[in-house]
Amino acid sequence: MLHRVAHRGYSAVAPENTLPAFAAAVRAGATFVEFDVRVTADGVPVVIHDRTVDRTTSGHGRVWELRHDEIAGLDAGSWFGPEFAGLRVPTLAETLDLLLPAAAELLVEIKSPATLAEVKTIVDQLAERDLLGRTVLQSFDPDVVRKCREVAPEVRRGLLLFRFDAETSSLAAETGAIFCNPPVDDVLGGPAVMAELSAAGIGVMPWTPNDMSQWPALVEAGVSGLITDCVGELTGWSRAHP
């Protein structure tokens, strides 16, 4: 089965990394809901992509230098559209509570910097809700992936990449990743690395193929799933191309 991964939720129809985007992803048939986690200055895991709050909220500053109450007061919806004015940056706890009843699995990207204690806090919130078995923890930072292994060796891991290179397969194996997730162009232009990863039993889910015309070639290249903003469209396409 081709995994249908909702990138930051169904972010084509609602502001990325918000509760409405996650609810829409579930309704649209996502098999994985992907989101990003950072930890505030006072130790609260929140769901936001960028290092700063500037792009997607009404505020300014680095996430790890702001307290949760400062971030909680920001408008995280108006940038996307007036109908989302007043939307807030969700905590990890709020996100997990929303997704708990859903069938979709969770693809949780832990952003760096992340200390071992912060990774443990994130894992503990998943464990409290019995969600570890439904979760893949991933990061662009191999050291964060290693911290995930140290804290919860039983939880599936993914290694995000900015590009394929000669070390890709060995690094994925060394970190114990079951997924290795690069940009679209590297999948389409890297058949040798794709073959190495496939031989090692490591799945590939590229980011972020929003152009439907690329989907057949990516499937032909052997991907395990697609991490896309357009998960509803991918669900429809997948059903038409079983």
| Catalytic annotation, residues | 7, 49
Between the alpha carbon of residue 17 and those of residues 77, 133, 141, 195, 220, the distances in Å are 10, 22, 20, 33, 30
**Angle, CA 99 vertex, CA 95 and CA 103 arms, to 5°:** 160
Residue 214 and residue 188 in contact, taking contact as beta carbons nearer than 8 Å: yes
SS3 47: strand
Please give the backbone phi and psi of residue 40, each rounded to the nearest 5 degrees, phi first. -75, 175
Directed axis angle between helix 168-175 and helix 142-151, to 10°? 20
Strand partners, 144: none
Smallest CA-to-CA distance from 133 within 155, 150, 153 is with 155
Residue type, 15: P
